[in-house]
Structure 1
Amino acid sequence: MAIKNLVSSLLLAGSMVSAHPGHVEKVYQHSALPLERKSLSHCEQQFNDPEFVKRNVEFHAGEFARLRREAGYDLDQAPKLSPRDYISVSKINHKSNKAVSWNMDLKTLFSDYGACMLMPAVDQGPLYVQGEEIRKDIKENEPGIKMTLAVQVVDYKTCQVVPNAYVDIWSSNSTGIYTGVQGYPGMGDPKDAGILKLRAMRGVQPTDANGIASFDSLLPGHYDGRASHIHAIVYTGATKLPNNTITGGKAPHVGQIYFDQSLIAEIDKFKPYSTNKNRVVPNVNDFLFIQGANGDDPIVRYSLVGKSLDEGVFAWIRFGINQQKALNVNPAAWWTADGGKMNPKGPVGQMGGGGGWGGWGKRFLGKKEEEAKQEEEN
């Protein structure tokens, strides 16, 4: 709160300094400007532009540093105005006091979301099934705490919503098991091909006129090696097929969604989550959370539908995407008319015996850490 007030003060001070640089300015009448224009609503798009925000923060941070130098303070001890980092994001309480209901107008969830920023893309993970059906309810009779998840997609350059896109999500069930992929360590019997026909916690939804796609799902459980999360891919330019799936288009965003650590602790008190023996990995110890939270906030805002968590939650998040991007998607399996079919060139198909988060996962994290190091050096 202190930093927020500081930034507000600096913005006000900066505008006064730039308007009055030490001399009295002559005031001119501009008859071309209507006197009744009293608001800056017409500038909303420019004010929300990420580059505009960045320039303002950098300017006022510089002014603050100058003032502290003149006052004789050590700049190393000064509060730092910087983009979000994963530590500060993890300390935010994302629980909202919004009154929510199962049939509410979803666009009201995003009325106070603030400026749109680019949501960092991260790896798709090893358990993506491409070709899932377009459907809102993806619970498939799985036990757990009901969650409606609303995702709003906006173009981060224009801050305009993106209608007619498709959001594809997948996550583990309440005890940390993913369906639809055979042979991944810890995800059921690797010899049981029946898991390929299971589709719980997987589905696709189109964005509406407000750029919003929503799913009736469950709060996911955790599994060893990762913080609790939901995967998501946004497709633009895709075509809906007669069999209720999509084809074509491109993927400008591949990301993951997370939850407050305090919420995860509460979830684990309810069955069947409480029967999950997998190790809990905190958000701040998860490399992909760190990657996604260094720049923006990948944790959902949420509100309880009733008085208790077990009555269900509404969760919502905004994806700021770069529509010019076309990210690589390599599924572990495909959903077909005959059920799931493994992709031999997918991340699980190429594991070649052994792996899991202790094998494939360690190689994956090592690769991502090396990429991050090279990017930092460049």
Structure 2
Amino acid sequence: MTLKNFLASLLLAAPALAHPGHREEVHAHAALPLERKSLAHCSAEFNEPEFIKRTVEIHGRELARLRRSLGIEVEENRLRRPKLRPRDYISVSRIDHKSNKTVSKGMELSTLFSDSGACMLMPAVDQGPLYVQGEEIRKGITNGEKGIPLTLAIQVVDYKTCQTVPNAYVDIWSSNSTGIYVGVQGYPGMGDPKDASILKGTTLRGVQPTDSHGVASFDSLFPGHYDGRATHIHAIVYLGATKQPNNTITGGRAAHVGQLYFDQGLITAVDKVAPYSSNKMRITQNTADFLFMQGANGDDPIVRYALVGKDLSEGLFAWIRFGINQQANKPVNPAAWWTDKGGVMNPNGPVAQLNGGGGGFGCRVREEI
């Protein structure tokens, strides 16, 4: 049996743990998808000099900003072409996504951004049980939380046309250094289920628009691990949404829902640094995470990254490319909503259903056709 057939049979036979304390249903179509939805076919477009130049300039400005904050100047120089190639989850897990270049003054920034990575759409993962809808548009989402600084740049492209998608909104959220998601009350393992103050938190949650080259970036923190899942960050890409006077978005549709991951070696190094080192929850390896396996069979959902300074504690700059279907309209059922008065639990959301015994649970894996 081939690895692909083995995983397909596994999809039909076994549930996947996507969050601690609860098994999440996994679904797969009996038929093969109508088309492959990775970004490998976009190689020519991504190799266009102007495309490379603009991507390098945007990511380069972000890295330069971070480097200047440490008193280091970085210059932008010549460009190199990226390489795109099909992968499987085992080979992806063995790739070292850290830049092999020393980040220094006068360096050639294109050597950092020559391979932006690509999250394919098949299969897609819905928002999971800890999504809060209505978070504010903001670049800095740490709220003073302690941890290793992580600036994350996500480039959004149309997987059919290979063109960048400007004016989209990217919504991300992740756990803190000790593996806790702020903003949702009552989920097992995520703080005191009776403590309503957790609903007032917005740490490591936020929304950013994509610029003219399809790039949105966030100043966040490296997420902590927790039992049952590999270390990851969630993301939703909204199209057609409207910015409101209160700095939130409404309307539109979720064209892509996914998760991005990190090198296992990087996670190991981070877990040795305080406050991550105080996290005693079990670590789940990438290759033991079913959703990682699905996302990494055919493409690479692990971010590329570089150290901002000389030491890991000074922060990371990471980048990745999302391929989206602009015609898609993914269902979104948040655990809570953010309002002017703070967070409000969704009585029909996945956490409420879990606690109320309604039988429903909102995190599933499915193929798009």
**Length-normalised TM-score, structure 1:** 0.70
- Looking at structure 2, the residues matched to 127 and 193 of structure 1 have their Cα atoms a distance apart, in angstroms, of 15
Aligned positions of 1:1-378 closer than 5 A: 44-45=44-45, 83-98=86-101, 110-113=113-116, 118=121, 120-352=123-355, 368=365
Higher RCO, 1 or 2 (CA under 8 Å, sep at least 6)?
2
Which protein has the larger Cα radius of gyration, Structure 1 or Structure 2? 1
2:224 counterpart SS class:
coil
User: What do the CA deviations read for 1:248-273 (whole angstroms, capped 9, x no partner)?
Assistant: 11111000010000000000110000
Q: Give me the whole-angstrom Cα distance separating, in 2, the residues matched to 1:174 and 1:115.
A: 26
Q: 1:262 to 1:170 in 2, by over 3 A?
A: same
Determine helix, strand or coil for the equivalent of 1:182: coil
- Are the structure 2 counterparts of residues 105 and 203 from structure 1 closer, same or farther at C-alpha, using a change threshold of 3 Å? farther
Q: Structure 2: where are the runs of 5+ without partners?
A: 1-42, 49-84
Return closer, same or farther for 1:109/1:83 CA change in 2, 3 Å cut-off: closer
Report the AA paired with residue 214 of structure 1.
S
CA 209–99 in structure 1, closer or farther in 2 if over 3 Å, else same:
farther
CA drift of 1:112 comes to 4.1
Structure-1 separation of matches of 2:144 and 2:178: 14
User: Closer, same or farther in 2 for the Cα pair 1:137/1:114, shift >3 Å?
Assistant: closer
Distance 1:100 1:331, change over 3 A: farther
| Matched residue SS, 1:349 | helix
Give the superposition deviation at 1:47.
Answer: 8.9
Evaluate the alpha carbon distance shift between residue 128 and residue 180 of structure 1 in structure 2; reply closer, same or farther with a 3 A threshold.
same
Label 1:307 to 1:47 Cα distance change in 2 as closer, same or farther (>3 A).
closer
CA RMSD of the aligned region, Å?
3.0
Identity among equivalent pairs (%): 74
More helix by share: 1
For 1:143, the aligned partner's letter is K
- Determine the C-alpha separation between the residues in 2 that align with 1:323 and 1:106: 30
Give the CA deviation at 1:108: 8.6
After superposition, the Cα gap between the structure-2 partners of 1:107 and 1:118, relative to the gap in structure 1 and judged at 3 Å, is: farther
Structure 1 portions without partners, runs of 5+: 1-42, 49-81
Instruction: Compute the displacement of 1:294 (Å).
Output: 1.4
Change (3 A) 1:147 1:46: closer
Give the Cα–Cα distance (whole angstroms) in 1 for the partners of residues 330 and 191 of structure 2: 30
- 4+ long deviations beyond 6 Å: 104-108
Counterparts of 1:119 and 1:308, CA distance in 2? 36
CA contact (8 A) 1:119 1:321 kept: no
Q: What is the aligned partner in structure 2 of residue 21 from structure 1?
A: none
1:158: how far off? 1.2
Letter in 1 for 2:222: L
Look up the SS of the partner of 1:90 in the other structure.
Answer: helix
Cα gap change, 1:256/1:127 in structure 2, threshold over 3 Å: closer, same or farther?
same
TM-score by length of 2: 0.72
Letter in 1 for 2:251: G
**Structure 1 position 314, deviation (Å):** 0.3
